[in-house]
Structure 1
Amino acid sequence: MIAFSPARIALYAALLLLGLAVGTAGSLVQGGWFPGGLLLALLGSGGLFYGATRATGTQLGTLVSAGGWLLAILLLNLGRPEGDGAFTAGLGPLLFMLGGMVLAVMCATLTRPAQPGD
């Protein structure tokens, strides 16, 4: 069972905000400098997910950061009533969305190092 202390709750809130920031930045970078921007956006997303896994030691850390990331890219993908959106049509945005989801699943299913006393 995970003990939810105020410090842990603050860590999860920070991971959610980081997920929102990385998702927003990745959405803008991947379309601006294709294909290097796509690689940079995926590396940033993977770094966030892996760092969240290591920082919390649980899968919940990865899921919270990936939830913020997914929320950001979905909101940017919806666009505005005028039809403007952050994503362009093409292979780049699709690879960013699918690649980010694959990275999140990979980081959430990593084996955890042995804990002292196990």
Structure 2
Amino acid sequence: MAALRVAAYLLLLVLGVLTGVAGALVQAAWFPGGLLLALLGQMALCYGGVRVMDTRLGGGAPAAGWTAVVLYLTATRPEGDFVFSVGVGSYVFLLGGMVAGVMCATMPKLSQPGRSSARLGK
């Protein structure tokens, strides 16, 4: 059972990496719709991770993968190539995605394990 949870967290981490790469390519291509689509994809993945795993780490794993790959893509290369252009959209994508990941990773737990949702005493 624990190995299955670890595999699920690793899958969420990989999905965060893929979402970061896809968002980096889409956010400037179809501005402003691509930016909105990239941010909504990041938010949906992090929130979905929280809901599926029922832990905060479920939102933190894709946020960590997303942040790592996006920060890697912001670095300039010796060849002079870069993924992000200079502009407001790139900064909104970087900061907005990080804020969305932190919000999902720090949101309150959705349910308490081992307790029923029924009211007691009535």
TM-score, with structure 2 as normaliser: 0.88
* Counterpart residue number, 1:78: 75
| Unaligned 5+ runs, structure 1 | none
The whole-number CA distance in structure 2 between the counterparts of 1:39 and 1:87 is 16
1:104 aligned onto 2:101: yes
Residue 24 (structure 1) aligned to one of 18, 21, 25 = 21
Work out the number of aligned pairs and report it.
115
Letter in 2 for 1:117: R
Note the C-alpha offset of 1:8: 0.4
| Unaligned 5+ runs, structure 2 | 117-122
Residue 51 (structure 1) aligned to one of 48, 53, 65 = 48
CA deviation map 1:30-57 (0-9, x unaligned): 0111101000000000001101111111
Runs of 4+ residues deviating >3 angstroms: none
Name the larger-Rg structure: 2
The whole-number CA distance in structure 2 between the counterparts of 1:114 and 1:16 is 23
Residue 37 (structure 1) aligned to one of 34, 38, 44 = 34
The whole-number CA distance in structure 1 between the counterparts of 2:53 and 2:110 is 12
